Structure 1
Amino acid sequence: MRDELHRLIDRLMDDASAFPWEAPQAYADFLAQTFYFTSHSTRLLALAASRCPAESAVLHRGFIQHLGEEDSHELLALEDLRGLGAEVETYPERAVTRALYETQYFKIEHLGSTAFYGYVIVLEGLAAIGGPELYRRVVRAHGDGCARFLRVHTLADIDHLATDFERIETLDEGQKADIGINMIQSAEFYGLMLRQIARDHGGAFPLATELCGAAAPA
């Protein structure tokens, strides 16, 4: 699973590296979409915690702890957006952004709490592995005051990722299979979101129907 995650992150980094972080409108749209989906982070973690059976106390407490660590993080994206002189209302929530998080409610309810780890480790893996490069680009272009969200998650998600893998290793093969499917799906939606934003703000990106894993344009 670690190898598969690194493969997915490598492909996502093709999209992330080609993303025009230096363009104010593209970065503002990214922050707005980030605000929309991270507004559901604590709600999803609360749902996952509530669906853990009594004998899975470690997983239950883990989701609760993670919930506390993610509290109000969507406001970091909002503060960065306002630092650019933009408002979230200027950038409506995209369908692909909704698809990214709405599917997680279904997976938790119908497959179980542990399936949610597929979504979590893709986002944390991207932040931990690719975050430093993206953070440096944003700071150079817009200043540290507009990079709070990236700064916090680049630092915090390294530890989160290690803890998540410790818990995943205790799961059965069926649960791991659900996580693997969710990893791929979440990476595809996130990569598509990046490409749509870049395309709409002048980037030479593939059509929105193409999913994560296509080679980045030269």
Structure 2
Amino acid sequence: MKEQIWARIDRLTKTMDTVNWDDPQIYAAYMAQTYYYVSHSTRLLALAAGLLPLSAGPAHQRFIKHISEENRHEVLASRDVTALGYRVEDFKELDTVKAFYRLQYYMIQNVSPWSLLGYIAALEALAVRGGPAIHERVCRRHGEKTGSFLKVHSAEDVEHVEQAFAMIESLPTDVQAAVWENLEMSCTLFEAFLRDLPLAYQTTTLVAGQATPPAAEGKRKAG
């Protein structure tokens, strides 16, 4: 299954490559959406950990440990948005992002708690495959302080993705099928929200008649 997962992630990475990361508003929109879905990471892990069978002790403990590793990572995304001169609330939570994480609650509770591994593998494999290049690009264009979330996940997720793959490959075939189904749906929804990024900016949250946030305007003049 590892090869199958990497092939799907390569397709997702190609969609990531179409995003205009040089546009500060688009990149800020992406990090705002990241804030929205990452805010659910520890809750999803806790839910799945609680529903795993008692016989799955090592997996249960791994999920619990993962909670501490992911704790407050949404704050990193929020800081990146601020460093770009925006606020998270300047960007609405896209419907495709809501569907992205709400799917996980459904799959955990109605299909299998193991299915969360599909979501985990998708995000962590994407961070490993596409994260370093995007991190380098945004830091070069927008400054080092705007890339904290990508920096952390590009480094940490190398180990995490191998752990996720090993756990997936240890599962029975029928459970692997649920993991794969969730991974495929998660990738599709992630691609959808990438396409929707231009729709996220809410000018109504700004002062009337002001085209850009003050911080963003100041940065542009300084450059």
Please report the TM-score for the alignment, with normalisation by the length of structure 2: 0.88
In structure 2, the residue corresponding to 1:18 is in which secondary structure?
Answer: coil
What is the Cα-based RMSD across aligned positions, in Å?
Answer: 1.2
Contact 1:20 1:198 in 2 (8 A): no
- Structure-2 separation of matches of 1:181 and 1:104: 11
Q: Any unmatched runs of 5+ in structure 2?
A: 202-223
Pairing 1:66-85 to 2, within 5 Å after superposition: 66-85=66-85
> Greater CA radius of gyration, 1 or 2?
2
Counterpart of 1:196?
Answer: 196
Please report the TM-score for the alignment, with normalisation by the length of structure 1: 0.89
Counterpart of 1:95?
Answer: 95
Counterpart of 1:135?
Answer: 135
- Report the Cα offset of residue 9 of structure 1: 1.3
Query: After the TM superposition, which segments of 4 or more aligned residues of structure 1 sit over 6 Å from their partners?
Result: none
- Structure-1 separation of matches of 2:200 and 2:68: 35
Contact 1:79 1:146 in 2 (8 A): yes
Render the CA deviation track for 1:59-88: whole Å, top value 9, x for unaligned. 100100111100000000000000111011
Counterpart of 2:180?
Answer: 180
Pairing 1:31-180 to 2, within 5 Å after superposition: 31-180=31-180
Compared CA separation, residues 199 and 11, structure 1 to 2 (3 A): farther
- Structure-2 separation of matches of 1:115 and 1:109: 10
Contact 1:19 1:198 in 2 (8 A): no
- Report the Cα offset of residue 54 of structure 1: 1.0
- Report the Cα offset of residue 200 of structure 1: 7.0
- Structure-1 separation of matches of 2:89 and 2:198: 18
- Structure-2 separation of matches of 1:152 and 1:200: 25
- Structure-2 separation of matches of 1:183 and 1:17: 20
Between the two proteins, the alignment pairs up a number of residues equal to: 201
